[in-house]
Amino acid sequence: MTVPEEKSDLYQLMVEKGCLKQQVYQNTYETFQMLKKVLEKMIKKYQLKKIKSEYQVPLELKEKSRNEFELRVAGDVLIFLMHTNVFEFPRDHFIHKTSYVKEDSTRSYCGIINIFNFLNDSFKFHRVNDIGYLIGRLFINKDLHFHLDGKKELRLLPNNFVDTVIDEKKMEQIIEAAIRYIIGFDLLTPPYASVKEVRVGDIITAMDSMSLKTGKRLGFKFQADLEDIEK
């Protein structure tokens, strides 16, 4: 039986889009593995320095799954989470205005690696009400070109989607920027008014589950943070 021409075009489109997304996924996964490799090298470099200190200050990597691993940095945890789906930038994003994407619209399809910051104690004491923060997102396309957005420390890195290909050196810069950000992102006490009333249930369970909510900026709004909100 002969397949009608319009159906043939549909099947061709299906195959092309499917192959595109698989290529982007594979590139993102390889980038994720590169990220882990770079982190392992940085940890070895840190261990070799043997910096003298009164207390242990850990820099440890823990693999959670194929698409997730954690980096413990002193009292903080950075969670690197690779999304399993492929995304396209919104039509009003500046990337669509570049000659690079205008020449080939499929270059705007990207995989995403998210970088989250949590307190280590939130996991240690199972404080499920604690707050974490998305501090960066790394986008990878079919050509291994990348775009990075997030907090200022990450956005200030060289970040040219048109002609920049991800490599280990750039990956190390991204990791260092993330670590520098969380080192300077301190835990502040919440306003008295927000914690002056506490439920009996919270106090009863606080000793074993620490259910009182904790976050680095809980209850506060800073101009610097407001400037970092995605536009």
- Rounded CA separation 160/207 (Å): 49
| Reported confidence tier of residue 31, pLDDT bands at 50, 70, 90 | very high
Percent of all residues in the chain with a pLDDT value above 90, rounded to a whole number: 61
Amino acid 185: pLDDT: 84
- Rounded CA separation 109/26 (Å): 13
Q: Is pLDDT of 211 > 60?
A: no
CA geometry: angle 35, 41, 42, nearest 5 deg:
90
Percent of all residues in the chain with a pLDDT value above 70, rounded to a whole number: 81
Smallest CA-to-CA distance from 178 within 73, 62, 55, 52 is with 73
Amino acid 5: pLDDT: 53
Q: Is pLDDT of 194 > 80?
A: no
Q: Is pLDDT of 222 > 60?
A: no
Count Cβ atoms below 10 Å from residue 222 Cβ, excluding itself. Answer: 10
The residue segments making up the domain with residue 128 are: 5-227
Q: Is pLDDT of 192 > 50?
A: yes
Mean pLDDT in residue range 118-126: 90
- Rounded CA separation 78/92 (Å): 31
Least confident of 134-148, 179-193, 213-227: 213-227
- pLDDT, mean over the chain: 85
CA geometry: angle 135, 181, 107, nearest 5 deg:
45
45 vs 208, residue with greater confidence: 45
Instruction: List the structure tokens of 159.
Output: 């970040």
Instruction: Rounding to the nearest 10 degrees, give the CA dihedral for residues 181, 184, 187, 191.
Output: -100
| Reported confidence tier of residue 231, pLDDT bands at 50, 70, 90 | very low
- Measured distance between the N- and C-terminal CA atoms of the chain, rounded to whole angstroms: 53
Least confident of 116-125, 189-198, 210-219: 210-219
| Reported confidence tier of residue 216, pLDDT bands at 50, 70, 90 | low
Q: What is the pTM of this model?
A: 0.82
- Rounded CA separation 195/183 (Å): 26
Amino acid 94: pLDDT: 94
Q: What is the pLDDT of residues 51-110, one digit of tens each?
A: 888 888 999 999 999 999 999 999 999 999 999 999 999 999 999 999 999 999 999 999
Q: Which residue has the tokens 């950000």?
A: 181
Residue 191 carries which DSSP code? P
The total of structural domains in the chain comes to 1
